Amino acid sequence: MKNVKHAKCVKCGKIYKAVPDLTNCSCGGILDIVYDYGYIKTVLTWETLAARRDYSMWRYRELLPVEETTAAPPLRVGWSPLYPAPRLAETLGIRKLFVKDDGVNPTASLKDRASSMAVAKAREAGAKVIACSSTGNAASSLAGNAAAAGLETYIFIPSRAPKGKVAQLMTFGATVISVQGSYEETFELSKAAIEKWGWYNRNAAINPYLSEGKKTVGLEIMEQLGWEVPDYIAISVGDGCTIAGLWKGLKDLYAIGLIDRLPRLISVQAEGCCPLNRAIASGGDWAPMEENTLADSIAVGVPRNADKALMAVRESNGLAVNVSDQEIMAAQKLLGQTCGVFGEPAGVTGTAGLKKLCEQGVIPADAAVVSVVTGSGLKDVANAIAFCGEPVSIPNSMARLTEAFAARNAGQGKI
Amino acid sequence: MKNVKHAKCVKCGKIYKAVPDLTNCSCGGILDIVYDYGYIKTVLTWETLAARRDYSMWRYRELLPVEETTAAPPLRVGWSPLYPAPRLAETLGIRKLFVKDDGVNPTASLKDRASSMAVAKAREAGAKVIACSSTGNAASSLAGNAAAAGLETYIFIPSRAPKGKVAQLMTFGATVISVQGSYEETFELSKAAIEKWGWYNRNAAINPYLSEGKKTVGLEIMEQLGWEVPDYIAISVGDGCTIAGLWKGLKDLYAIGLIDRLPRLISVQAEGCCPLNRAIASGGDWAPMEENTLADSIAVGVPRNADKALMAVRESNGLAVNVSDQEIMAAQKLLGQTCGVFGEPAGVTGTAGLKKLCEQGVIPADAAVVSVVTGSGLKDVANAIAFCGEPVSIPNSMARLTEAFAARNAGQGKI
């Protein structure tokens, strides 16, 4: 890899050769991929990108840690839409807002970015089997991306994973192990099994290549904004890998001169499970918490990528905010009604946090903000229905329809 | 509209001016939009298209019935991926197969193409409210696309509509009327209500512009194949609007010389509800049927666009095949395992029909085929889970994991 120098432990600084099956440092720290920005700068410019026709995350190959000969995996991941959201901006009282809808990825979440990278690296490693533990989205995205590439998957999920994600896994033909316990226990069992059977490891807090896939969401946001840097980017946080990846992408672009400043990150967690935000607020270390939120994808009591995530928020002079489940579900509806975007609870948690900070007057009215929606609401319809209510139910009768409208004052008197 | 001549009744041939709120002909027939191909030919070529950066259905503006000043609606609809599917092709015993995954549209179905068009035309008509009846996907796509554009929606669904679609509707803020009856009864109630309150009509069998939106799936397939025409295109059929739209797109391209022949259509319906295929098989007229299939989106006993659909299949020298619910669910799993694509039951019915025809030896082994997946499996996870089974459920214990694998002989002895 001409563009990659090596991997480096974020804890002890130890250097590793960037082989395809890298895991954690011997000290237990997570590795970070170090690039040769001097070289990349000479090949990746605004102009070379503008001329490119690959509208997927693989359009940023020079910033991705793969061999030049490695083919992009089959599913078309990335280049999700970045929507201007003027009506939502007005509701929140800010000047400019964009919504990045990562729910339209092939398996309907941002995790496809990491899984596409996992498939590419597993192929480089000559692996035939990939395994991971996941609260659900990493699992279904791995199962889908691997199935398309003809690779086998072993997947560990906590028994609470919502049905939509389980249906995906089973359909993609993964071997699925539902662990009767927390995500933490699920993770530990997957780790032991991966060690025992030698499968390729797609746990994002162990395999340092995965956040390099996730960072493409940041690369895309900047290119889609015409390299005009927003003031803030709000995103939900669980394990910490996604916000760490986002930050890596932004720093990459800054390092090669494609952007001239960096936005501030807004790290949003659920009140019932916010170990990272608690650490940011206290300025100290993180400690485990219970997993007490309906936003299943970010119900992570023992965040596995705490180091990179905390570093990202702190380096960016970022903000941390926690939201209640009620605030999350209200944000889901608000996004749906003002933007036509239906995100899963964890997917809209970033928007919920942004809303809260706007209401608290923390975000200045002239700010330009991007809110990342990390997964589709179709992954978890039970919660959406519980919050939104059921439709009017009537027989085929105009009289009954007119009555129903009158009773509910539908359309606020518009009929 | 420089590119549109007028609308013409497919039944009696009566000509109408192409105003934005066109409905059916006074004879009850459905209208078809007639283009000025001579003009379009001069502006839309392989080269002009290749230079275009709009990767959505709106890249084909010259073939779409909108004013030049009409903006594309906010959500990014279309340009869904067309995946080469070599492993599925091998399984089916055909030379070349491509899968068009329309489940990655903003609200996760092909219907977004019609709804995007409906929003554009409603704006031209100065309407503030759009209404439709739908088995679910047209409804949720209208609700999402309209919400993004700031328009209000009134939506009629049969009470059987799956939860995923209902959750979308409620989140997008639609006024939803769940009709205790068949799709036929739902349609009739919506028709009466639309007449009474004067809402903009997004019923695809009444508003002739909608299949013009749907036809973009055909335009994209051809451009994505580099204008190399396949032998067959397989697609599921309910109301008939989608296959009619697909055919219109193909004929448009043929008329302006962008393709030099036309593929044969494969019309696939569910055994329990196949009024159109029954008509094709008999060569005669269609008659109503019960709506007896789990593929809810195509459970249409009284197809509203029978004329255009039958004409399309017959003109293309097409094939008609019916599949059982069991065959549909097997196709869902097959697509998931070989392509990493998770389609809803009606979404994979086209693939199920193709598989059946391959097994019957009807499709020659050297054929090149496209199979369109019309919606995401996340819309209806209950059926997927019922068919695929549940994961292995164990506590966090390596001993129990090893036991479970041994019991199930997981990975066929690979562990």
- At residue A204, the pLDDT reads 77
Task: Count interface pairs A-B at CB distance under 8 A.
Answer: 260
- At residue A389, the pLDDT reads 82
B110 CA to centre of own chain: 4
Q: Scan for tokens 């067959």, then name that residue.
A: B232
Identify residue B59 by its one-letter amino acid code.
R
Each residue of A274-291: pLDDT tens digit? 999 999 999 999 999 998
The DSSP code sequence of A287-321 is -------S-GGG--SS-TTHHHHHHHHHHTT-EEE
Tell which B residues from 177 to 206 touch A, by Cβ distance under 8 Å: 177-181, 185-186, 188-189, 192-193, 196-197
Among chain B residues, CA nearest to A82: B76
- At residue B273, the pLDDT reads 97
As a whole-number percent, the residues of chain A with pLDDT over 70 amount to 98
- At residue A409, the pLDDT reads 65
8 A C-beta contact, residue B246 and residue B274: no
Q: Which residues of chain A have a CB within 8 Å of the CB of B175?
A: 392, 410-411
The DSSP code sequence of B186-224 is HHHHHHHHHHHHTPEE--TTT-TTHHHHHTHHHHHHHHH
**Has residue B409 got a pLDDT over 70?**
no
Interchain contact B333–A (C-beta under 8 A): yes
Each residue of A381-409: pLDDT tens digit? 888 988 988 898 999 999 999 999 888 76
Identify residue A143 by its one-letter amino acid code.
A
Does the distance separating the beta carbons of A172 and B336 come in below 8 Å? yes
The three-class DSSP label of residue A64 is coil
Does the distance separating the beta carbons of A385 and B170 come in below 8 Å? yes
User: Based on the number of CB atoms within 10 Å of its own CB, is A254 exposed (0-12), middle (13-18) or buried (19 or more)?
Assistant: middle
Question: What sign has the CA pseudo-torsion B270, B271, B275, B277?
Answer: positive
Each residue of B197-255: pLDDT tens digit? 999 999 878 999 999 999 999 999 999 999 999 999 999 999 999 999 999 999 999 99
- Closest by CA position to B377, among listed B89, B158, B86, B101: B101
Q: What residue spans of A150-274 are helical by DSSP H?
A: 163-171, 183-197, 210-214, 216-224, 241-255
Does the distance separating the beta carbons of A414 and B337 come in below 8 Å? no
- At residue B304, the pLDDT reads 87
- At residue B390, the pLDDT reads 84
CA-CA distance, B163 to B19, in Å (whole number)? 36
B299 CA to centre of own chain: 13
- At residue B382, the pLDDT reads 87
- Closest by CA position to B187, among listed B237, B241, B133: B133
Q: What are the structure tokens assigned to B79, written together?
A: 């340009």
Identify residue A395 by its one-letter amino acid code.
P
As a whole-number percent, the residues of chain A with pLDDT over 90 amount to 87
Q: What are the structure tokens assigned to B261, written together?
A: 């022949």
Predicted confidence band of residue A269 (pLDDT cuts 50, 70, 90) = very high
- At residue B410, the pLDDT reads 54
Predicted confidence band of residue A371 (pLDDT cuts 50, 70, 90) = very high
- Closest by CA position to A107, among listed A144, A72, A79, A74: A144
8 A C-beta contact, residue A342 and residue A332: yes
Interchain contact B52–A (C-beta under 8 A): no
Each residue of B162-200: pLDDT tens digit? 888 889 999 999 999 999 998 889 989 999 999 999 999
- At residue A160, the pLDDT reads 86
- Closest by CA position to B208, among listed B16, B1, B32, B27: B32
Predicted confidence band of residue B75 (pLDDT cuts 50, 70, 90) = very high
Predicted confidence band of residue B411 (pLDDT cuts 50, 70, 90) = very low
**Has residue A413 got a pLDDT over 80?**
no
Tell which A residues from 219 to 278 touch B, by Cβ distance under 8 Å: none
Query: Nearest C-alpha of chain B: how many angstroms from A270?
Result: 21
As a whole-number percent, the residues of chain B with pLDDT over 90 amount to 87
**Helix, strand, coil % in chain A, rounded to nearest 5:** 45, 15, 40
Each residue of A332-350: pLDDT tens digit? 999 999 999 999 999 999 9
- At residue A412, the pLDDT reads 42
Predicted confidence band of residue B148 (pLDDT cuts 50, 70, 90) = very high
**Has residue B53 got a pLDDT over 90?**
yes
CA-CA distance, A326 to A355, in Å (whole number)? 13
- At residue A415, the pLDDT reads 46
Q: What are the structure tokens assigned to B126, written together?
A: 């100065």
pLDDT-wise least confident of A35-39, A300-304, B348-352? A300-304
Tell which A residues from 305 to 324 touch B, by Cβ distance under 8 Å: none
- Closest by CA position to B85, among listed B328, B372, B329, B353: B372
Q: Scan for tokens 């083919």, then name that residue.
A: A71
Predicted confidence band of residue A255 (pLDDT cuts 50, 70, 90) = very high
Does the distance separating the beta carbons of B180 and A395 come in below 8 Å? yes
Interchain contact B169–A (C-beta under 8 A): yes
ipTM for the whole complex: 0.95
Query: Nearest C-alpha of chain A: how many angstroms from B36?
Result: 31
Identify residue A87 by its one-letter amino acid code.
R
The three-class DSSP label of residue A386 is helix
Does the distance separating the beta carbons of B87 and A150 come in below 8 Å? yes
- At residue B412, the pLDDT reads 42
